Amino acid sequence: MNEKKYFHAIKLVNENCTACTKCVRVCPTEALRVRDDKVEMDSTRCIDCGNCVKACEYNAIQTYADKLDIIEKFKYKVAIISSSYAGQFSESIGYATAKKALLHIGFDEVAQEAMVTDMMSVMIQDYLKKNKDLRPIISSNCPAVVRLIQVRFTSLLPHLLRIEAPMSILAMYYRDMVCKQKNLSEDEVGVFLIVPCVSQVTAVHQPEGTYKNLQDGAISIREVYGKVMDKVSDAEEDETEIELYPNGLNWAISGMQADEIGNEEFHTMAVNGIHNVIDVLTKIEGDQLEYFDYIVMNSCINGCVGGVLNIENPFVATSRIKRLLQKSEHKYFEDELFYKMYQNGELDVIPLEGRPIMALDKDIKSALMKMQKIGEIIKLLPNLDCSACGSPTCAALAEDIVAGKASLDDCVVRSRKIKKETSGKQKAGK
């Protein structure tokens, strides 16, 4: 139906695929199928949540992110690191060293998401006040959640917070500042995100709602981790003073942003894990949570620390970040310019359009006819949802059959049953 091509930071490697269907079963938008013993993806459905990557044990679903060497194309290289980066390193290395090491692997300047979260909280509270007639407002931080709403919960699009994400705001700010300070043109400054998940890579390569591409690439934490480890001793000897803004790191952990914004005036909540997110979105659609002012949603368990491009287990990373918060003093990064940008509408996001994937047909009458056929086919299927046919559930197989993408013979359980029955009849006949 949709002609538009979608970028995805997920690569299917067919030669590694064993057709086990683990990925098919975990996909929240039913974007994957196994056909002819190979995994296939419907790119209009995929929201880049990365659940299939986590599920695949055969390295048949790999991630795409930019390689570190792409930064060489630029004269001045700025890295903006996701807060979950801090959770990847043990205390013996320390966040300051890990951050400084980025200056030793090729970057000229390192900024962090955590710098602007204080200011973001103020802006979000202001946004909540200005949009009192719409409840709840849903955070737009997690690109996988934003895409999930676009494809499965289109009626909730107006609820999405329409302020740029922290790392996008920083990208604008740094490009502008560096150009002025170093007397460079915009193309000479490369701004790169160091990201914990595939949805962030997709958001950089195919942004939704932004007026222009803000970053020059998205490099994974996995890509830089080994190189950073090699430079730890250099970074330890380096006496350059750097700021850490530890308090803002808490946005990498689900729950922290909601706690920060919540107060007597604003009732907030945090949800993490894609299935919990779907559950809560379903409730919002039924107007069951209209007494919440702001809901922060993360596709990954525990928040961004759960992203598939991290190194460390999400619980270990969470605990490290929390300890870092306890042990350090908070530094505020304040720049009036950010508030000015917000007031001038420079941080606004274009209202997003839906790209619904659920409809069986463009026309309701045809969709009804297809639904009737699907209903008839479901009666012939075992309702085991075993996925052996390559579709995630019996209902999905029935839909695939009506769409002409599969046949009843694909159902292994049914075929075996028929075979048994016919051989039974033959025996009885003898």
DSSP bridge pairs for 424? none
Q: How many residues are given for the chain?
A: 430
Q: Say if residue 428 is exposed, middle or buried (CB neighbours under 10 Å; 0-12, 13-18, 19+).
A: exposed
Sheet containing 137-138: order of strands:
137-138, 294-298, 268-272
Nearer to another protein, 106 or 354 (CB): 354
Q: What is the DSSP letter of 250?
A: G
How large is the angle between the packed helices 143-152 and 274-285, nearest 10 degrees? 50
- Of 16, 181, 213, 288, the one binding another protein (CB under 8 A) is 288
354 binds another protein (CB under 8 A): yes
- Of 286, 345, 404, 429, the one binding another protein (CB under 8 A) is 286
379 binds another protein (CB under 8 A): no
358 binds another protein (CB under 8 A): yes
362 binds another protein (CB under 8 A): yes
How large is the angle between the packed helices 336-343 and 117-130, nearest 10 degrees? 30
Which region, judged by CB under 8 A, interacts with another protein, from 154-162, 170-178, 208-216, 378-386? 154-162
Nearer to another protein, 59 or 155 (CB): 155
- SS3 readout for 335-373: CHHHHHHHHCCCCECCCCCCCCCCCCCCCHHHHHHHHHH
How many other CB atoms sit within 10 Å of the CB of residue 69?
Answer: 9
Q: Say if residue 256 is exposed, middle or buried (CB neighbours under 10 Å; 0-12, 13-18, 19+).
A: buried
Which region, judged by CB under 8 A, interacts with another protein, from 13-21, 33-41, 79-87, 147-155? 147-155
Which region, judged by CB under 8 A, interacts with another protein, from 61-69, 150-158, 200-208, 229-237? 150-158
Handedness of CA 78, 145, 314, 33 (dihedral sign): negative
Nearer to another protein, 291 or 326 (CB): 291
263-282: contacts with another protein (CB under 8 A)? 282
348 binds another protein (CB under 8 A): no
CA distance 398 to 376: 9
Which region, judged by CB under 8 A, interacts with another protein, from 53-61, 88-96, 125-133, 362-370? 362-370
Nearest to 207 by CA among 150, 123, 266: 150
64-103: contacts with another protein (CB under 8 A)? none
404 binds another protein (CB under 8 A): no
319 binds another protein (CB under 8 A): no
- Of 319, 339, 356, 378, the one binding another protein (CB under 8 A) is 356
Which region, judged by CB under 8 A, interacts with another protein, from 149-157, 242-250, 256-264, 422-430? 149-157
Smallest gap from Cβ 367 to another protein, in A, equals 5
Strand stretches in 28-177, DSSP E: 32-35, 38-41, 61-63, 76-81, 109-112, 137-138
385 binds another protein (CB under 8 A): no
**What H or E segment, with its residue span, contains residue 425?**
helix 412-429
Nearer to another protein, 59 or 288 (CB): 288
Smallest gap from Cβ 321 to another protein, in A, equals 33
> What residue ranges bind another protein (CB under 8 A)?
152, 154-155, 157, 282, 285-288, 354, 356, 358-365, 367-369, 371-372, 375
